[in-house]
Structure 1
Amino acid sequence: MQVQSSSGRPREFDDAYVIEAAMDIFWTNGYDGTSTQELCERTGLGKSSLYNAFGSKQNLYQQALEHYQELGIQAQAQILKAPGTAPERLRALLQWGVDRDLGSSRGRGCMALFAVLNRTGKDPKVAEINRIYVDRLEQILCHVIAVGQRNAEVPPAPSALELARGFLGSYYGLRVLGQSMPDRAFLRDALEGIVARFEIPLIK
């Protein structure tokens, strides 16, 4: 991307670097808690350059959110496409969420989830971005569960779509609990309770 410097000469900026830096500060502070001055300091851009390049703080936030979600989809898809039974892969995804919430990102939580809670009602574009993200994750989950049903790893009813949506509700509920109840033993029990709904009990 080129923007005009104060002298009128075009200047090159690394869009990916700016969006990555903006994502980090939005993720930490939220949209309302992030000032334009902080964005300038973190990205290395002057205020006029920032607005010339991205239009507004809101537009930059939207691009940062899309970047965060793309990274998240890639990571979660890799887990869900790994070897193992469907319940094992679902457990691995839940464990990934717990580890993120209790690990180095402790206190920041899930940027996508907080965008839903804090920005969806205020920004239709954010609502659209979040809807696309959930749809993509739902499609991956639905495929994993449908294959699990065909392999007799997951109960045959309800439908794969209903189970995928039920899992999504439980998954994001667990992510919220990771912020309010940062206790690994508590979250492990909640995790196992979720997975139990997707396992076929062994016949003794």
Structure 2
Amino acid sequence: MSKSGRPREFKDTAVIDAAMELFWEHGYEACSTEDLCKQTGLGRGSLYNAYGSKHELYEQALLRYHETGIQAQIEILNQQGPVKDRLRALLDWAIQEDFSNENRRGCLLINAAMERAQRDPTVESLFKRHVDLLEQALQQAIGAGQLSGEISRTHQASDLAHLFLSNYYGLRVLNAAAQNRERAVQMAKATLEVLF
């Protein structure tokens, strides 16, 4: 992450959001410093003074995406009402996110993990944190559903959370790669039918 002693001359969120869009569109490797300067409106010196390196700016962009995305997903799972409705809402949210742009970008964190996690400990750690937090929220929701009788207790909540999570991330990868919304809706429906 960026070093705390560095001066900030620019509004961080605007620069980070602009960089995030570029990384999301092209991936880390394909983004040059020149591309980032054009996208953010900063000169090379200003960019390095504020963020230190292309990689540190990438980390900030991924962190911002993670924080926004995980908050939205956990809020859905923590809503009041039947657990089935909350899980359906999470799947609907993912489908909406994945089909809301024409560029088939998919989830930035999934893209980053596929591109860099094996050789970039920061990406690996951030993706793991994201998945762990979502898994915990899923397990709590499913556990609550088991207590209320909505979900069978035949399997442990942790096992069902793992099953849901694997379907969820499989869905998101397929959404980005194939862009078949009808199939995505059918897969989401089948995922819920397995649990209920």
TM-score (norm 1): 0.88
Inter-partner Cα distance in structure 1 for 2:79 and 2:103: 26
Q: Which residue of 2 aligns with 1:133?
A: 130
The one-letter code matched in structure 2 to 1:35 is: S
Matching residue within 127, 149, 152 for 1:152: 149
The root-mean-square deviation of aligned C-alpha atoms, in Å, is: 1.7
Matching residue within 170, 174, 178 for 2:175: 178
Inter-partner Cα distance in structure 1 for 2:55 and 2:8: 23
State the Cα distance separating 1:2 from its structure 2 match: 8.3
Inter-partner Cα distance in structure 1 for 2:178 and 2:52: 39
TM-score (norm 2): 0.92
Aligned residue pairs: how many? 193
State the Cα distance separating 1:104 from its structure 2 match: 2.3
- 2:99 equivalent to 1:93: no
Matching residue within 63, 68, 89 for 1:66: 63
Q: Which residue of 1 aligns with 2:42?
A: 45
Q: Which residue of 2 aligns with 1:7?
A: none
- 2:180 equivalent to 1:163: no
Q: Which residue of 1 aligns with 2:74?
A: 77
State the Cα distance separating 1:48 from its structure 2 match: 1.5
Q: Kindly tell me: are residues 142 and 105 of structure 1, through their superposed partners in 2, closer, same or farther at Cα, counting changes over 3 Å?
A: farther
User: Could you say which structure has the higher helix fraction?
Assistant: 2
Q: Which residue of 2 aligns with 1:112?
A: 109
Shifted more, 109-118 versus 76-85: the winner is 76-85
State the Cα distance separating 1:83 from its structure 2 match: 2.7
For structure 2, the residue ranges without an aligned partner over 5 or more in a row are none
Q: Percent identity?
A: 44
Aligned 8 A contact 1:27 1:111 in 2: yes
Deviations 1:57-91 (A, max 9, x none): 11110111010011101111121122321121111
State the Cα distance separating 1:105 from its structure 2 match: 5.8
Greater RCO (Cα-Cα under 8 Å, separation 6 or more): 2
Question: Which one has the largest radius of gyration?
Answer: 1
Q: Kindly tell me: are residues 108 and 60 of structure 1, through their superposed partners in 2, closer, same or farther at Cα, counting changes over 3 Å?
A: same
